[in-house]
Structure 1
Amino acid sequence: MSFPDRPGALGKVARVLGTLGADILQVTVLERETGRAVDDFVVSWPGSPDTAAVRDRLSAVPGIRVEGVWPTREVPGAAPDYDLLRHVATDPSRAFATLVDAVPDLVGAEWAVALSSDGDGLVHRSWQAPPSLDEGGGIAGVKLADLASLRPATLASGSHQLMSLPVPAARIHLVLARTTGPSFHRAEVDRAGRVVELVSLIAGL
């Protein structure tokens, strides 16, 4: 959610969410520049929220822009980064498979795959990844070879938002995807990139 970076703006967002019955569990600042703030809110509702109504009510407040509303598996207050690194350290031989399985939850992605940097195709997929990838299919019309050639970047293709990160130590490219919500933010790319670096170091040791 984007809104003016000035006193009282966050309170307006909280009040609107409160009138909708939302319980704010966590707020993460993604960006503060050019007079605006971009924050990620994790909230809970009793029952299933009407995401269209949430977007409409918030967008009606002057200055507030809703970037996206989507479900998440993230547990506020948890430390999934540390949990991932602990599992990697316990079994370094599966370091990059563990990374692919666990990294989607760190950045609100739905699934992830590891692609060979040598052009050999799919190396590993998280269980949520589309089965068609096992048959060499592309992702939302983007060929796997094209994704593997990207440097740290985000890409919108059809209904998919993609993040691509090189993992030189394993000669793979990590690709994450989500079909709901906005494009991956720079802060999310940076977070995933730091985790990739640490996993590479642990695997090397």
Structure 2
Amino acid sequence: MLYRLRVSLPDRPGSLARVTQLLGAAGADVMQMTVLEQHGGRAVDEFTVSWAGERDIAALVAAMERSVGVRVEGCWAAGEVPGAAPELDVLGQVARDPGRAVATLIDAAPTLFHADWAVATRGGRGRQLVHQSWRAPEAPALPALTPMRPLAFAYEGDASGHGAAAPIGASWLTLYVVRHEGPAFHRTELERLGRIVDVALGVLGDRAAAKATGTTTP
């Protein structure tokens, strides 16, 4: 089974090698690593690891935290390992089928961000669901947001969790992505979410983006 681990460690030579050695010694196979931030003498990295399904993942977390200076900030199921550039696959699909651009972004967001589900809504408090990924609840308890830029929020619906929201172009469309396990969305993830949406709309061009999001152009 695949898991995502967010790990805080001292930002000094050898620390990353020590963490990967700890993962290997505990029996985890590292599939992917992403650097989220380096600040104040510490680094925050995320690892996607393969872990035998019959073993308790808590044992891996405990093994990591026995090392001085290492903190596991979150551990949750990863679903699947994305390819080397999963965003390119999404952008390619957007270009091939502009009419489903918003649906493509929503369907891809849970995989891209190791989350559980995503939806697109239109409007503020009286918002309307536009598209839902396959694991999204029928009536998600989402905050009434019309963000100017991507932001994180606490999800308090049928099962608590963490969410991220991003505007889709110059419309009243908002993309929400939610995960029920793991830590809050990191600012690096929020920036990546915003870039993916912006580039997808750029691929479409002004007229096609307006049509896909239900807005009009002069």
Q: If the length of structure 2 is used for normalisation, what is the TM-score?
A: 0.83
- Residue in structure 1 matched with residue 51 of structure 2 by the alignment: 45
- Residue in structure 2 matched with residue 82 of structure 1 by the alignment: 88
Measured after TM superposition, the shift of residue 79 of structure 1 is: 2.1
Structure 1: segments with no counterpart, 5+ residues: none
Measured after TM superposition, the shift of residue 175 of structure 1 is: 0.6
Q: Which residue among 125, 130, 136 is the counterpart of 2:137?
A: 130
Measured after TM superposition, the shift of residue 31 of structure 1 is: 0.6
Matches within 5 A, 1:85-164: 85-117=91-123, 119-133=126-140, 138-139=141-142, 143=143, 146-148=144-146, 151-158=149-156, 159-164=160-165
**Would you say how many aligned residue pairs link Structure 1 and Structure 2?**
196
Structure richer in helix, relative to its length: 1
1:2 aligns with 2:8: yes
Structure 2: segments with no counterpart, 5+ residues: 1-6, 209-218
C-alpha separation between the residues in 2 aligned to 1:46 and 1:52? 12
Measured after TM superposition, the shift of residue 92 of structure 1 is: 0.5
| Cα contact 1:92–1:202 (8 A) shared by 2 | no
User: What amino acid is aligned across from residue 193 of structure 1 in structure 2?
Assistant: G
Deviations 1:84-135 (A, max 9, x none): 00000001011111111112211111111101035432111111101233xx
Deviations 1:148-200 (A, max 9, x none): 45742101234210101011344301111000010011111111110100111
Residue identity over aligned pairs, in percent, reads 46
* 1:74 counterpart SS class: coil
Measured after TM superposition, the shift of residue 77 of structure 1 is: 4.1
* 2:130 counterpart SS class: strand
Structure 1 moving runs of 4+ over 4 Å: none
User: What amino acid is aligned across from residue 21 of structure 2 in structure 1?
Assistant: R
C-alpha separation between the residues in 1 aligned to 2:87 and 2:183? 22
C-alpha separation between the residues in 2 aligned to 1:125 and 1:193? 19
- Residue in structure 1 matched with residue 169 of structure 2 by the alignment: 168
- Residue in structure 1 matched with residue 203 of structure 2 by the alignment: 202
| Change in CA separation of 1:150 and 1:130 when aligned onto 2, cut-off 3 Å | farther
User: What amino acid is aligned across from residue 195 of structure 2 in structure 1?
Assistant: R
| Cα contact 1:116–1:148 (8 A) shared by 2 | no
Q: If the length of structure 1 is used for normalisation, what is the TM-score?
A: 0.88
| Cα contact 2:146–2:172 (8 A) shared by 1 | no
Instruction: Judge which range, 41-50 or 120-129, deviates more.
Output: 41-50
Instruction: Judge which range, 23-32 or 12-21, deviates more.
Output: 12-21
Structure richer in strand, relative to its length: 2
C-alpha separation between the residues in 2 aligned to 1:28 and 1:8? 16
- Residue in structure 2 matched with residue 66 of structure 1 by the alignment: 72
C-alpha separation between the residues in 2 aligned to 1:13 and 1:167? 38
